[in-house]
Amino acid sequence: MDGTLTEELLDFAAIREEIGVPSEVKGILEHIAELGEEERRRAEEILHRHEITAADACELHVGAEEVLAGLRERGVKTALLTRNSAACAERVLSRHSLELDYVATRDNRPHKPHPDSILNITRRLGISPGETLMVGDYLYDLQAAEAAGTDSALLLEGKRELPAFAPMATYCIRELREVLRLVEGGA
């Protein structure tokens, strides 16, 4: 969602610092899962506050509405897979009047980068992993796609340099509109 359909406004360094995520721990959600009940509740409140603030301020990436409409016109099923909360995803989708066939948040376990985060969606939508394109902007998107056996498109909008994980992507795209070309087979 953020970084793909919308601009990325989450300051992950600030979130990690406020929660107290050690630098050697890769994921915020993975750290929170290991906390005791009281600490976990506090960490979830911090994360929720940051997510809702970003959801209330984010703008769509150029072409997001066009891509979703174009996919719908072509009969392509769409899903949102995010590590954000359901409340955050709902806020973003309603603010921007976006419609997708399915929305999976961190409340739908397992979440990215686990392969079942994608495979559960493909089963629900009745499509095969081989017919699926995971579009994302971060390592977890590519890891989930690779593990699930789906193609992936790494969105590089606004990035000057390729991230170290870019070679994992099936495709690298500079703007979201390129998804329509990929879906039509024009790699």
Whether 106 contacts 83, CB under 8 Å = yes
Q: Nearest-5° angle of CA 97, CA 66, CA 6?
A: 60
Whether the full predicted model's pTM is greater than 0.75, yes or no, is yes
Q: pLDDT 10s per residue in the chain (187 long)? A: 989 999 989 999 999 999 999 988 889 999 999 999 999 999 999 999 999 999 999 999 999 999 999 999 999 999 999 999 999 999 999 999 999 999 999 999 999 999 999 999 999 999 999 999 999 999 999 999 999 999 999 999 888 899 999 999 999 999 999 999 999 886 5
Distance CA 148, CA 118 (A): 7
The domain total for the chain is 2
- Same domain for 88 and 160, yes or no, is yes
- Same domain for 53 and 128, yes or no, is no
Residue 18 structural domain: 12-57
Does residue 161 belong to any structural domain of this protein? yes
Does residue 170 belong to any structural domain of this protein? yes
Residue 89: give its domain's CATH number: 3.40.50.1000
- Same domain for 69 and 125, yes or no, is yes
